Amino acid sequence: MQTRILGHSGLQVSAIGLGCMGLSYGLGPAVEKADGIRLIRAAFERGVTFFDSAEAYGPFANEELVGEAVAPFRDQVVIATKFGFIDGVVSKGLDSRPASIRAVAEAALKRLNTDRIDLFYQHRVDPNVPIEDVAGTVRELIREGKVGYFGLSEAGAQTIRRAHAVQPVAALQSEYSLWWREPEQSVLPVLEELGIGFVPFSPLGKGFLTGAIDAHTTFDPNDFRNVVPRFSEENRAANAGLVEVLGQLANDRGVTRAQIALAWLLAQKPWIVPIPGTTKLHRLEENIGAASVRLSSQDLAAIDTALQAIAIVGERYPAALQQRVDR
């Protein structure tokens, strides 16, 4: 697989990474550990070198899974993980106090069975802790050799600037896809100006853009999409037009909807690295195949024209979670 460098950081990763959250958390029951290890190792065998985890995924179980899975080839991959929730539990709220960041780093190193965290993200901006204190703490961890690079997740333009002035930010991780393009408005220009890479999560719209989900799909009781407004039955029906257009575009090019969606992201900027997640080998291979799909300027213009006529319905988060996104 081709590689990309996240902004001006020098951090080189595969053009498509693997979001590991769904193996342990958020999208129904966790997979069997052996199955998760096999999937991660299959990704590496196919060229993926960028694996995304967090203490909150489980909590803690995902870091342990990733650490065990990549152990045989640890020095050939980049591991990203995150801090920022009380006890690693999203529902408990935010905690990015310097002492907490240090505690999370030490615990994550043990769970990942490694001597350094390659990319350490603040999972969500904590309004109670100045971002300068957060960046300063990660800067110290970098100087101590425990962390390689500093990242932010779902941070707004001003927060990015303030953090970057203290410790250069290697990457911003935020949602970005054909059905959530808000980062184009104010975030992407700042990232380009400052030389910061962009790591889109949910690049396939939490599975919706693949065409595998329709108005009649039922989710596991533990699947967080049950509470996402955009995934209500009526909103899924209303958004079906987007999937139909993607299907037409994909059929014309002999690829899949997912590959069109990922190739579109890769075509936006050379420092964008999406991290689709999956629990299935055939989906993993499909996603990786998107790195070989080339969209011409005419293709991109046709996609934009087709999508301009489609209004996406429904918020991407419940109100309580949306409040945690920094603007």
Q: In what helix (H) or strand (E) does residue 14 lie, and over which residues does it extend?
A: strand 12-14
Q: Are 142 and 149 in contact (CB under 8 A)?
A: yes
Closest alpha carbon to 52 in 161, 167, 201: 201
Q: Are 269 and 195 in contact (CB under 8 A)?
A: no
Handedness of CA 85, 91, 92, 94 (dihedral sign): positive
Domain ranges of the chain: 3-205+268-293
Reported confidence tier of residue 325, pLDDT bands at 50, 70, 90? confident
State the catalytic residue, choosing from 57, 121, 149, 176.
Answer: 57
Write down the pLDDT at residue 320. Answer: 76
Write down the pLDDT at residue 72. Answer: 98
Residue with tokens 């396939």: 204
DSSP letter for each residue of 160-174: HHHHHHHS-EEEEEE
pTM equals 0.97
**Looking at domain 3-205+268-293, which CATH architecture does it have?**
Alpha-Beta Barrel (3.20)
Q: Is the pLDDT of residue 49 over 80?
A: yes
Q: What is the mean pLDDT of residues 235-254?
A: 92
DSSP letter for each residue of 40-64: HHHHHHTT--EEE--TTTTTTHHHH
Write down the pLDDT at residue 324. Answer: 79
Q: In whole numbers, what is the pLDDT of the chain averaged over residues?
A: 96
Which range is least confidently modeled, 182-196, 234-248, 273-287?
234-248
Q: What's the pLDDT tens digit per position in 115-133?
A: 999 999 999 999 999 999 9
Residue with tokens 């109670």: 128
Q: What's the pLDDT tens digit per position in 146-181?
A: 999 999 999 999 999 999 999 999 999 999 999 999
What tokens were used for 273?
Answer: 């690295």
Q: Is the pLDDT of residue 275 over 80?
A: yes
Active-site residue, 25 included: no
Q: Is the pLDDT of residue 327 over 80?
A: no
Cβ-Cβ contacts under 8 Å for 173 (sequence gap 6 or more): 52, 80, 121, 151, 152, 153, 154, 198, 199, 200, 201, 275
Write down the pLDDT at residue 317. Answer: 87
Residue type, 114: T
Q: What's the pLDDT tens digit per position in 71-106?
A: 999 999 999 999 999 999 999 999 999 999 999 999
Q: What is the mean pLDDT of residues 190-217?
A: 96
Given the DSSP bridges, would you call strands 117-122 and 3-5 parallel, antiparallel or unpaired? unpaired
Q: Is the pLDDT of residue 318 over 90?
A: no
